[in-house]
Amino acid sequence: MPLDIRDSSNITFANLHMYRVVSSYQPFRHAIALSNSRKIRFRNLHCYSDSKVSFANAIYDRSSNINIRQREFAWLTISGRAPQIPEKKPSPVLPENAKVEQVATGFFNVSGGAVDASGNIYFVDAHQQTIYCWSASTRQLSKVRDNPLDPVQLFFDKAGDLIVVSYAGKLQARHSWR
């Protein structure tokens, strides 16, 4: 379960292991949320889950509106002071002036992303048992399937068929659609 720290100071958490429970009705977005707190020390923090994504963010500081996505680290101290904004450096991965944008929301637990030859992105929301496609050309989201398949992972074969790895049945199953 998540940890919510409010109006606190001078606390140390050592060897902290957080586990996301994905079978709950709505998983929490953060392993730890802080507000109006200072001198909070984390030593040897680990965030785990039985899904591919343990939490959207390991730590969220409400006071400064800062998310820490790293799911494992040796040490971190939340001072409580306003953070200094570092000078922006060019990304070693993205082209200059590239923008990362959120294109859709409202999912329970997204995983299994795969991209087809046209650049369309397919992914599953396993809890909703739904497969979605984000169209690169129309920039719209559509449902591909909402069958009770227990989809967990997607990929495309050489023929361009979408292959779904599923936990449906006694053994792992694979389904395909063109």
For tokens 């939340």, the residue is 78
- Per-residue pLDDT of 129-170, as tens digits, reads 899 999 989 999 999 988 777 787 889 988 898 888 887 665
Q: How confident is the model at residue 24 (pLDDT cuts 50, 70, 90)?
A: low
Average of pLDDT values for 99-107? 85
- How large is the greatest C-alpha to C-alpha distance in the chain, in angstroms? 59
| Whole-number Å distance between alpha carbons of 114 and 138 | 18
Calculate the CA 166 to chain-centre distance: 20
Average pLDDT in the chain: 84
- Per-residue pLDDT of 67-101, as tens digits, reads 888 888 899 999 988 878 788 888 888 888 888 88
In the prediction, which pLDDT does 125 show? 87
Domains of the chain (ranges; CATH) run 3-78 (no CATH), 110-177 (2.40.10.500)
Query: What 3-state class would DSSP assign to 100?
Result: coil
Residue 49: exposure state from Cβ atoms within 10 A (0-12, 13-18, ≥19): middle
Query: Cβ distance 11 to 3 under 8 Å?
Result: no
Structure tokens that stand for 24 in this block: 């709950």
Q: Which value, to the nearest 10 degrees, does the dihedral of the CA atoms of residues 26, 55, 53, 176 take?
A: 30
Instruction: Please give the order of strands across the beta sheet that includes 57-61.
Output: 3-6, 30-35, 57-61, 66-68
Does the pLDDT of residue 54 top 90, yes or no?
Answer: no
Q: How confident is the model at residue 53 (pLDDT cuts 50, 70, 90)?
A: low
In the prediction, which pLDDT does 89 show? 85
Q: What is the DSSP string of 111-157?
A: EEEEE-TTS-EEEEETTTTEEEEE-TTT--EEEEE-SS--EEEEEE-
| Whole-number Å distance between alpha carbons of 126 and 153 | 9
Does the pLDDT of residue 174 top 70, yes or no?
Answer: no
Q: Which residue has the higher pLDDT, 131 or 57?
A: 131
In the prediction, which pLDDT does 128 show? 86
Does the pLDDT of residue 20 top 80, yes or no?
Answer: no
Query: What 3-state class would DSSP assign to 35?
Result: strand
